[in-house]
């Protein structure tokens, strides 16, 4: 199942993790006991990457290596570009929350919180986005951010133009150039 900003669908990985967490009580000899908690993401749920994340990225980014590579492979992006955005946006902090309301590793604007106050035309700008709680899940955040960036590359025709749209509106091309410099230096 592909997570896309255009048609927001809760990924099967998250759904199965929630189901496993709910069903984590087992019965043994007539007594209920706590089962071993499921891991948030099984390795089998991650797409096999075609490109590898550079070892030049700091540990705060390397921590998310498998998720970055899987999300990048599914989105058709270089994992080093996804990691460059993550390094610039959150430094690898999954609980990052900007003053403008962007959330998580890839700093995605959610539909709730501060971001709900941004109005485009007659409705909230980010009405079709996930919630803050959803974006605080690292895998979800990386996948959504990767899909969003891939969609922008497709629409805009280049990584620089896509990054112009991905980044803060008040930074213009300087944001794109910073991320591209990180990308070039770390890959």
Summarize pLDDT for 54-73 with one digit per residue, the tens. Answer: 999 999 999 999 999 999 99
Which pLDDT value is given to residue 45? 55
Q: Residue range 39-52: average pLDDT?
A: 58
pLDDT for residue 14 is more than 70: no
User: Would you state the pLDDT for residue 41?
Assistant: 52
pTM greater than 0.85 (yes/no): no
Is the Cβ–Cβ distance between 111 and 126 less than 8 Å? yes
Over residues 129-158, mean pLDDT: 96
Model pLDDT, residue 46: 56
What domains sit in the chain, N to C, each tagged with a CATH number?
A: 49-186 (1.10.530.10)
Q: Does residue 120 surpass a pLDDT of 70? A: yes
State yes or no: pLDDT of 35 exceeds 60.
no
CB 21 within 8 A of CB 38: yes
Decide: helix, strand or coil at residue 27. strand
pLDDT at position 169? 86
pLDDT given at position 74: 96
State which H helix or E strand residue 121 sits in: none
Q: In sequence order, what are the beta bridge partners of 32?
A: 27
Q: Which candidate, 23, 1, 19, 2, places its Cα nearest to that of 147?
A: 2
Buried b vs exposed e over 3-31: b needs ≥16 C-beta within 10 Å?
A: bebeeeeebebbeebeeeeeeeeeeeeee
Asked whether the predicted pLDDT for residue 21 surpasses 70, the reply is no
Those residues with Cβ within 8 angstroms of residue 122's Cβ, 6 or more apart along the chain or in another chain: none
Q: Is the pLDDT of residue 10 over 70?
A: no
Which phi and psi angles does 161 have, rounded to 5°? -65, -40
Q: State the average pLDDT for the chain.
A: 80
Closest to 142 in 3D by CA, of 85, 88, 185, 98: 85
Distances (CA, A) of 139 to 63, 177, 184: 12, 26, 24
Q: Which of the two residues, 78 and 36, has the higher pLDDT score?
A: 78
The mean per-residue pLDDT over the stretch 143-165 comes to 97
Q: Is the pLDDT of residue 158 over 90?
A: yes
CB-neighbour burial class of residue 187 (10 A; exposed 0-12, middle 13-18, buried 19+): middle
**49 band by pLDDT with thresholds 50, 70 and 90:** low
């Amino acid at each position: 199942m592909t997570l896309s900003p255009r048609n927001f669908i809760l990924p099967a990985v998250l759904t199965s993790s929630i189901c496993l967490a709910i069903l984590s009580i087992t019965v043994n000899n007539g007594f209920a006991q706590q089962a071993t908690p499921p891991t948030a993401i099984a390795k089998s749920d991650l797409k096999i990457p075609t490109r590898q994340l550079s070892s030049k990225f700091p540990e705060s980014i390397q921590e998310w290596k498998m998720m970055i590579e899987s999300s990048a492979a599914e989105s058709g992006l270089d994992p080093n570009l996804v990691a460059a955005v993550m390094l610039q946006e959150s430094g690898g902090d999954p609980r990052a929350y900007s003053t403008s309301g962007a959330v998580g590793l890839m700093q995605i604007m959610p539909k709730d919180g501060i971001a709900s106050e941004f109005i485009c035309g007659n409705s909230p700008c980010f009405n079709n986005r996930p919630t803050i709680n959803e974006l605080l899940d690292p895998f979800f955040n990386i996948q959504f951010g990767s899909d969003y960036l891939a969609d922008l590359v497709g629409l805009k025709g280049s990584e620089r133009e896509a990054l112009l749209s991905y980044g803060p509106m008040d930074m213009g091309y300087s944001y794109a150039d910073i991320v591209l410099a990180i990308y070039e230096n770390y890959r």
